[in-house]
Amino acid sequence: MSTGEFDRVLDECLDRMMAGETLDSCLDRYPQWADELQPLLRVYATTEKTAAGVPSAAAITAARMRMQQARAAHATRTRRSLPLTQRIFSRPLAFAATGSVAVIVLAMVLLLPVTGGAPTIPTSPDGTTPTAPSADETPTVPSESGTPADEEGVATSSADTVPATPQAEGNFVLLLSDAPNDISDFESLIISISTVHLKPEGGGPWVELTPQVQSVDLTRLQGDLAVEIWRGDVPEGDYAGVHVHVSSAEGRLAATGAAVEVSLPSGRLQVDSTFTVRCSGAATHFVFDITVHRNSTVQKAARYIISPQASESGAGIHYTAVEPHGASVGASGPEARDRGSPPNDTPGPPGADRPGKEPKAPQSGISPGRADIP
């Protein structure tokens, strides 16, 4: 028997064992080579027994969600790359609806001189005439009667994202914080955030925020401390999650002062938590909690991974605000859930000019850190 032939038989037996056939059954098929095959097939049987790494149910669910998001993003990209005519005709309902509106408007324009009357413009209950939003106004996309969503529940409009406007007195505040885990290993752990996306509930363009504070030292944000990284106006409506895009993470160990690799495998941190933003009333404060894990019990051989801490993230989380430079400025946030450590303060009174705004009273007990903003 040639070596190539034996290789082929061994390969076939391995295939059969992988499909569930027993070792003995394979040997019965090739009695003339049973002596040579048996020890090699036993190697497979032994090795296969050590095939660990069975993913947890939570990991499977999370991976499936990520895949579905990637699939939706691919579908959107693909549609945008198709010619306009193809995009229009592949959506007959949308095309029909747009066409119907156009016909009605055209009919009104044509019939106006015949009837001699002026069109009645509906007024709001207070008697004022509503005005169409100007081009530079922030669009109110994710309203309850928002844009139709596709089968995946992700927006299929021509734009993936709409930029949100930073405002000193906005209706939305995004803060970063840090859950304990292995942060105590670090002297500093500075992460840089490039963009943040808010996912509208039920589809529609995602809202893109460019953080006003782009570098944050997580070691300064332990416990219920949180730093505001963006404040401004976002479209009113319900949201289903926040994605934070991290461009770099630089860690320095407390024990040795040495730089250490901190990985964020996908470059993105994601929290799927529902929240609502309103144009009037209190601003929504969303705390995004990031944590770092060591993957070894031996610190000098450790590697670190940062990930979102979903259970500590969301709107309505209690926090103590600190300045980007590390100095605490006061407490804020509705106390729908507490963040573990007992609050040393209570939510402050509403701001003078906007409900829900943090009071800027200085907070003791937190030492000023070095500047985290470049």
Q: Applying CB under 8 A, which residues contact other proteins?
A: 3-4, 6-8, 10-11, 14-15, 18, 39-40, 42-56, 59-60, 62-64, 66-71, 73-75, 78, 82, 86, 89-90, 92, 261, 263, 265-266, 293, 295-298, 301, 303, 305
CB of 103 to other proteins, least distance (A): 20
Query: Given CA atoms 15, 20, 22, 28 in this order, what sign does their dihedral have?
Result: negative
CB of 178 to other proteins, least distance (A): 19
Nearer to other proteins, 253 or 287 (CB): 253
Nearer to other proteins, 50 or 346 (CB): 50
Q: What is the dihedral of CA 63, 69, 72, 77, to 10 degrees?
A: -110
Nearer to other proteins, 63 or 336 (CB): 63
Nearest Cα to 198, choosing from 224, 171, 216?
A: 171
Residue 60's SS3 state is helix
Nearer to other proteins, 25 or 90 (CB): 90
Inter-CA distances, 160 with 26, 73, 81, 89, 347, Å: 55, 9, 13, 20, 36
CB of 37 to other proteins, least distance (A): 10
Nearer to other proteins, 66 or 370 (CB): 66
Provide the 10 A C-beta neighbour count for residue 277: 22
CB of 46 to other proteins, least distance (A): 5
CB of 200 to other proteins, least distance (A): 21
Q: Are 262 and 305 in contact (CB under 8 A)?
A: yes
CB of 112 to other proteins, least distance (A): 35
Nearer to other proteins, 50 or 280 (CB): 50
Q: Are 347 and 332 in contact (CB under 8 A)?
A: yes
- Would you list the DSSP string of 194-239? EEEEEEETTSSPEEEE--SS-EEEGGGG-TTEEEEEEEEE--SEEE
